[in-house]
Amino acid sequence: MNAMLHTAEVLGVLAFAGSGFIEARRKRMDAVGCFTVAFITAFGGGTLRDLLLDRRPLFWVENQEYPILIFVLSLLAIPLLRYLRHALTESALEWADALGLGLFSVTGTSLAQEADMPLFVCAMMGVITGIFGGVLRDVICNEIPLVFRRSQLYATCAFAGCWVYLLLNWTDASEAVALLAGTSTTFAMRMLAVKFNWKLPA
Amino acid sequence: MNAMLHTAEVLGVLAFAGSGFIEARRKRMDAVGCFTVAFITAFGGGTLRDLLLDRRPLFWVENQEYPILIFVLSLLAIPLLRYLRHALTESALEWADALGLGLFSVTGTSLAQEADMPLFVCAMMGVITGIFGGVLRDVICNEIPLVFRRSQLYATCAFAGCWVYLLLNWTDASEAVALLAGTSTTFAMRMLAVKFNWKLPA
Amino acid sequence: MNAMLHTAEVLGVLAFAGSGFIEARRKRMDAVGCFTVAFITAFGGGTLRDLLLDRRPLFWVENQEYPILIFVLSLLAIPLLRYLRHALTESALEWADALGLGLFSVTGTSLAQEADMPLFVCAMMGVITGIFGGVLRDVICNEIPLVFRRSQLYATCAFAGCWVYLLLNWTDASEAVALLAGTSTTFAMRMLAVKFNWKLPA
């Protein structure tokens, strides 16, 4: 179970970093810019959560291998970019991003609950953890954040998954079941929203 | 006195949330975007203050009803928007915003002084608390912050109110008198600046 | 040695504040906007570092004279701007900025190491301290951060200087030698990058 969580977390970090890297390339940033935007996208949400909850060491300080991994991948990515284009298809990125969203949101809620936050705040902390990396990416790239524009459901999926987790937790389900159900809810809902183009009313 | 303060705080939160909501609508964000921008505008300044002063629980965690209120109002606002337009006149918003600015700035200064910050830092913390919600709103909406553009005095009113509070505090006036005088100074100065179009030289 | 460090720090703060002030003027902000952007540029990187490392009091709270200095200079700068233009040549600003970059980065790394962060994180904290003031300046001024655009090496110089510091520290060189060598590396590399137009590949 723990190894599964860890694998999912690494996948989520990679997906978020990838979306940051690609956005930075589109804005014609240089290698340092691409690495930094990748870094901020992957760790921004978790860092904000840790600051708000006053948790130390920070998530990426505790797991020093995460920023190193992104650093090494950024170095490799630039010469390999031509080949990567075939591997990093739009849909591969969307799968990984939805997984990251689910996992980050639900673990964010779980950490907020450990810190004895009130219920609604727990759900908000989950959503913040899940979406804020992408918000910071878009702010730095000088765009209105994608999450807030009229597009397929995103934050809403995170919000739903967090409440599923909280509900199961309240019924004394085991932590593992609650985490899994919450993450799956967010993941499945996000994949369906993309597939069937679900949007909120304007 | 305490009930009065609380009422004023709720009014301030609502005014700031309202300005975030309206700005997000102008940028054609969806419901999630409108709620999040309203949330950030209302709580951004106080959250930054709490992070800088290392205060926990955060202002909106301690008063969980504030984010819930904004969540519910965001849900209601969208169907009611047509009717709200008549109630939410420009001038009603300006009154509430000036009240929020005064109250947030002066209580920010008061909390900084409780935390034994040096004098000038107390005034800065007050201004940060008062204006940063709006700054974050504008940054997320991809605008140069309104507060920094050449417009009617805003941060200057907050700064003046904070110094009135600090001065009265130094003369051993009661906390209630100092809070009231500081808030009134900021409020009155801001309303006059809007009415007579006071601006700083370019 | 300590007086030298302090002088260099004041120079760095002034250089960063100056670059914020000039950028804000270019965007036609008023006096409050210019002061605030100068303030954020000068203290943003160190503040983020202090938040991430959970250090209190913050750098500019401990040295209250720094924000006061910038406040007074902002008041003076506006009437004096015509004369300042001759003194604040492009190259004077570049010297001071490179000095600030070197000093802030290396002291950031040093503080991270004192807080027992892992090695790679220490280097990252140094770079964050050195560059984030400028990143925030550009985000507030609604630009893609200069550091990330394809321009002469900047963050790379900070990164190199931090590793020189860490390496010397590891070889048990005295703190003073390590600080001096790290700062000089960043400073010299940055000045050379500007002079010979060194850029990263696109």
Tens of pLDDT, residues C64-118: 999 999 999 888 887 777 776 676 677 777 887 888 899 999 999 999 999 999 9
Q: Determine the Cα–Cα distance for residues C46 and C49; give it in Å rounded to an integer.
A: 5
> How confident is the model at residue C83, as a pLDDT?
74
pLDDT digits (tens, 9 = 90+) for B22-76: 888 888 888 888 899 999 999 999 999 999 999 999 989 998 999 999 999 888 8
pLDDT at A56 over 70: yes
Amino acid at C77: A
For residue A19, what pLDDT is reported? 86
**Cβ <8 Å between A202 and B30:** yes
What pLDDT does residue C41 have? 94
Q: How far is CA B128 from CA A25, B59, B106, C36, C39, in A?
A: 34, 15, 11, 10, 11
Band (pLDDT 50/70/90 cuts) for residue C124 is very high
For range A54-68, the mean pLDDT:
91
Instruction: Over range C170-182, report the average pLDDT.
Output: 91
Look at A140-149, A151-160, B2-11, C70-79 and tell me which has the smallest mean pLDDT.
Answer: B2-11
Say which amino acid occupies A189: M
Residue among B25, B28, B32 with most chain A CBs within 10 A, to mutate: B32
**Which of B28, B32, B64 has the CB atom closest to A118's CB atom?**
B64
The closest of A157, A59, A63 to A108, measured between CA atoms, is: A59
B55 φ/ψ sector (left φ>0, alpha ψ -120 to 50, else beta): beta
**More reliable by pLDDT, B1 or B114:** B114
State the helix-helix crossing angle for B90-114 and B31-53, rounded to 10 degrees. Answer: 30
CA atoms within 13 A on the CB side of B52: 28
Label each residue of A16-56 as H, E or C. Answer: HHHHHHHHHHHCCECHHHHHHHHHHHHHHHHHHHHHHHCCC
Distances (CA, A) of B80 to A202, B33, B84, B90: 13, 17, 6, 17
* Length of chain C, in residues: 202
Q: What is the pLDDT of residue C88?
A: 65
- Eight-state DSSP code of residue A148: G
Would the CB atoms of A156 and B60 count as touching at under 8 Å? no
Output phi, psi for A149, to 5 deg: -80, 165
What is the structure's pLDDT at A100?
87
- Torsion sign across C-alpha atoms A17, A21, A22, A27: positive
What percentage of chain B has pLDDT greater than the value 70? Answer: 95
Asked if residue A165 lies in contact with residue B50, where contact means CB atoms within 8 angstroms, the answer is: no
Question: pLDDT-based confidence at A2, cuts 50/70/90?
Answer: low
Counted residue by residue, chain B has a size of 202
Residue B93, pLDDT > 80, answer no
A interface residues, B as partner, C-beta within 8 Å: 51-52, 54, 117-121, 124, 135, 139, 142-145, 147-151, 154-156, 199-202
User: Percentage of residues in chain C with pLDDT exceeding 70?
Assistant: 95
The amino acid present at C183, given as its one-letter code, is T
Mean pLDDT to the nearest integer, C12-35:
86
At residue C151 the predicted structure's pLDDT band, cuts being 50, 70 and 90, is confident
Q: Which one of B31, B64, B141 has the shortest CB-CB distance to A144?
A: B141
d(CA A41, CA A29): 15
pLDDT band at A88 (very low <50, low <70, confident <90, very high): low
Contacts of C57 in chain B (CB under 8 A): 117
Give me the pLDDT at residue A175, please: 87
Angle among Cα B123, B127, B133 to the nearest 5 degrees reads 155
pLDDT of residue C201: 72
- d(C-alpha A94, C-alpha A73), whole Å: 19
Whether B152 contacts B197, CB under 8 Å: yes
Complex ipTM value: 0.89
Q: Give me the sign of the Cα torsion angle B22, B23, B28, B33.
A: negative
Average pLDDT in chain C: 88
pLDDT at A121: 95
Provide the 10 A C-beta neighbour count for residue A89: 10
Nearest Cα to Cα of residue B128 among C78, C67, C127: C67
> Directed axis angle between helix B2-26 and helix B65-87, to 10°?
60
